[in-house]
A and B are shown apart, each in its own frame.
Chain A
């Protein structure tokens, strides 16, 4: 019943259909990356092939479909494998952030009182610092590396899930069927796992899956600042970072190197746009106040 409603809504609404198509397109690109852009360094498929050591980017050509960026890294390879890396980062970070948020939110809501107060003030502290700044500090402390960047992103993403799940559990906890389970003799773990979580986790799961776009955007920001992927990695943020010197082009032609910015930038733009459109559709469906 529920799934049909979501799919029907996605098919009938043009913007949500566009979002779904965009995300599906990037998912296919990520899935078939080894066929779309054959691996050239089998130790690290995310390492972009370097055509030569010349500094200036080269425009799109038969050999390099999307052109090359600074130091002759192939943009086509970078965008295709970047899609795979984007999904990897987005899914991993969201999964772990959700897991931490789930544990913290559940413990806070279930036990309540002092524990709740303590855990929620902790999440407030994380919330109080702008998330990008906090992620930058953590990433800089751990050292520039994709894995460290993912840790930093997870560390700033979990509080929103903790809050969301806590709220949902608190509302479900008071329902009569939870009390009914208690009067039947059920103990805490059984009530939590069989009654409370199945009735409170679903909105959070959907919200989490739709936050992937935002996580990828933040990851790109960190890579752009040099706190994530290293030069030569097929990462969209990294590709934009390498285009930094070529944004303005030459004095005769300000748009001479447009492809170095527009292609990876466009990939990020479309990827995040897709998730956001899909997210809006889901939020409309899940919000009972909107008809």
Chain B
């Protein structure tokens, strides 16, 4: 299988140096290995603060990995030169979470969409560029005559469409979507999700779709990876994950998805209520309904074909 992005044993630790005394280190990503195959949508699901956005930042070269390698189109993001990275940006683009802060308020739609073209020297001729930008606006479901308007004249959903259009100006092969619908109304979410699905199919994009919402992930993703406190705890094709969730955390999350006509039972323990973890132990152990604090399995293992899980407490009938 052709990999668009390959992450191997990625660690990211934020350290805060201080003038006096020692610094403080916060590990955010621990031993993350993931493969985003070409032309597929990979969902990355996890609760707030589990490291999803940090992973995106490392992929985009905004943060440097502490150790491990990130290969985008077989190029090591941390090793290549600035010029090579600039070329890589044409291949990999991003849609941000908040459509209100991700568009420069002092630029018109034309300026916003022209910027990537200017930077990479594409469509220098004015009429050709205008034609291209108008086609792009139509492609994301906006009227072509919106080019001269400012972001504040648009609704959140429309802004997110502009943001998607900006990501598509360079005709990328990989799209990273960092919670692109979580700031939107539910009715608008569906429209944007449909748009992302259509675009990823029409343009044969590989998409890393970050979300905390299983319902959204189920709608859009081919494969799903579940992240907990900086580790991937389970990954599987979407259908498989929803029918046979293996990791206790995944099952807890799926049980927490509200469903109409179903009574909620057994609220999960919030992360803040848990005690500190023992060194080397599974970071979920203190919340886990099945394990004591001594549970040490953190490595992913292939339980059934394509279905990886980092837990030894499997549901009955799912033995190795």
Taking Cβ atoms with an 8 Å cutoff, the residues of A that contact B are 175-177, 179-186, 190, 194-195, 198-199
Contact = CB atoms under 8 A, between A and B. Distances in A.
Interface of B: 60-62, 86, 89-90, 93-94, 96-98, 101-106, 115-116, 119-120, 163, 166, 170
Given A177-B103, A185-B89, A199-B106, A190 B62 contact: no
B119 A183 contact: no
A190 B101 CA distance: 19
Contact of B62 (A175, A179, A184, A194): A179
Interface of A is mostly: helix
A180 B119 contact: no
A255 B104 CA distance: 62
A177 B101 contact: yes
A184 B89 contact: yes
Given A185-B120, A186-B119, A180 B62 contact: no
B150 to A, nearest CB: 9
A184 B116 contact: yes
A52 to B, nearest CB: 61
Given A185-B89, A186-B115, 19 more contacts: A175-B101, A176-B96, A176-B97, A176-B98, A176-B102, A177-B105, A180-B96, A180-B163, A181-B104, A184-B89, A184-B93, A184-B116, A184-B119, A184-B170, A185-B116, A194-B115, A199-B104, A199-B105, A199-B106
B93 A183 contact: yes
A183 B104 contact: no
The 5 closest A-B pairs by CB, nearest first: A176-B102, A185-B89, A176-B101, A177-B104, A184-B116
A185 B86 contact: yes
Contacts of B102: 176-177, 180
A176 B218 CA distance: 27
B166 A180 contact: yes
A182 B105 CA distance: 16
B62 A182 contact: yes
B70 to A, nearest CB: 15
